[in-house]
Structure 1
Amino acid sequence: MKARLDGAELGYGAATVLRDVSLTLQEGERVVLLGPSGAGKTTLLAAIHAQLIARDERVALVPQDHGLVPQMSLRRNVYMGRLDDHGAVRNLARLIYLPRGLRDQIAAVLAPLGLSDHATSPVEALSGGQRQRTALARALFRGGGMLIADEPVSAVDAMQAAEIMALLSARFTTAMIALHDVALARSFATRIIGLRDGRIRFDAAADRVTDAQIARLYG
């Protein structure tokens, strides 16, 4: 078992966003969260992420706002995925000068995401889609068996999105991802959780979720 919630109320400060949340995330599951804006997908991802981090699990994270440093190069933003592997002095030295071996490792992550030509570009000079792929590259560089991602392909086209999701599926054995594309969710997920109005409306194997159930989420 990777994570568990049992009748939890989740939110920010005094504001409750999700009520009576019960679920278990098992090793090897690829869980997709579906639901309209404001349904609580980001809140649920944050709760699962916090639980995993509290247990010192190695988690690759792709937040919806990307969490990048605009003035730093794409390559250095990707390196930041491993900042907690080392102390402050070593990280500072590497943010000033990245050894050849690390540059090669990062280059291998950038290539399948179409970012090779932008390795030294400052993030603030990149397009929205390139920034999103930079956040994905940082997660891939971090590695580990678990991925938490919040709308990780919303800024790329359909073909790129499918390719990226296949890449993530091959790289991470377990994942919980919020998506807005239902077809992409069905192709990636082993399990789909539907959220609406602050509650889980369904939680089932991907091949058992009906079009009618999904329509009710967005209706």
Structure 2
Amino acid sequence: MTLALRSETLGWGKEAVLRDVTLQIADGERVALMGRSGVGKSTLLRALHDRADGRVAVVAQDHGLVDALSVFHNVWMGRLDDFGAARNLRTLIRPNTAERRSVEEVLDRVGLTGLGRRPVASLSGGQRQRVALARAMLRGGATVFADEPVSALDPAQGDALLLALSGDFGTSIMVLHDTGQALRSATRIVGLKAGGIVLDAATADVDAARLMELYT
């Protein structure tokens, strides 16, 4: 799969956020989208997601969780479209041993061991973010699209989970703010500023100082 945008204007409705965007992302790349808040990173991420074929996973900035449901059910939502309505209703009422085990495995990986039955509404911000990550891991796929997926975690925890995502998905496209995490986890940096792409380079060719220029 190759994702491509060619001289496109991106935005919400009639409001343009990014203009003349040309970008191509190939299989196997780990891309970090960077820039100041409001510059259009989420808009670009959404446009790339809309052009993706096949199975993909998403980690939304707002986590996309249902507070009335348990951690288990929020994680299992990553697989709802794999089954019909009858199976999903049964899982909502009485998940079987295999379903619980599959969710428990990804909860272990994100540091939420034993919390499957807990209501999502009772979780901290960092725990909610981990639930969203676990849901993406359970879903799996060729590509993960993630919008600030570890912003509520400390750097060491964030690094570990970014590494886990990179291991699970052949291609990753993530909005990141932490320059260190971007340099450690990505193979390519796409930087936005003033309504467009101003940086597109291999991670090996940039440093933290160059990335900080995106925020001035």
TM range (shorter): over 0.9
- Matching residue within 166, 169, 172 for 2:166: 169
Aligned match of 2:75 in 69, 75, 78? 78
Task: Give 5+ residue unaligned stretches, structure 2.
Answer: none
Supply the distance in 2 between the matched residues of 1:201 and 1:91 (Cα, whole angstroms).
45
Deviations 1:139-173 (A, max 9, x none): 00000121000000000111111111111111111
1:15 alignment partner in structure 2 = 15
Matched residues in 2 for 1:169 and 1:204: separation?
Answer: 19
Structure-2 separation of matches of 1:115 and 1:191: 30
Gaps of 5+ in 1: none
* Deviation (angstroms), 1:102: 1.0
Q: Once the two structures are aligned, what percentage of the paired residues are identical?
A: 50
Correspondence list, 1:178-197, <5 A: 178-197=175-194
Q: Tell me which stretches of 4 or more aligned residues in structure 1 moved more than 4 Å.
A: none
TM-score (norm 2): 0.97
Residues 112-151 of structure 1: CA distance to partner in whole angstroms, max 9, x if unpaired?
Answer: 2111121100100000000000000000000012100000
For 2:125 and 2:209, how far apart are their aligned partners in 1?
Answer: 33
Please state how far the C-alpha of 1:110 moved relative to its aligned partner. Answer: 0.5
Per the alignment, residue 28 of structure 2 pairs with 28
The one-letter code of the counterpart of 1:9 is: T
Aligned residue for 1:8, secondary structure, equals strand
Verify: 1:151 aligned to 2:148, yes or no. yes
What is the SS of the residue equivalent to 2:107? Answer: helix
| RMSD between aligned residues | 1.0
- Does 2:129 align with 1:132? yes
State the AA in 2 paired with 1:144. Answer: G
Is contact 2:148–2:174 with CA below 8 Å preserved after alignment? yes
In 2, Cα distance between equivalents of 1:175 and 1:199: 21
1:177 counterpart SS class: strand
Report the alpha carbon displacement of residue 2 of structure 1 after superposing the two structures with TM.
Answer: 2.7
Is 2:41 the partner of 1:44? no
Q: CA deviation at 1:212?
A: 4.4
The normalised TM-score by structure 1 is: 0.96
Matched residues in 1 for 2:178 and 2:210: separation?
Answer: 15
Q: Count how many residue pairs are aligned between Structure 1 and Structure 2.
A: 216
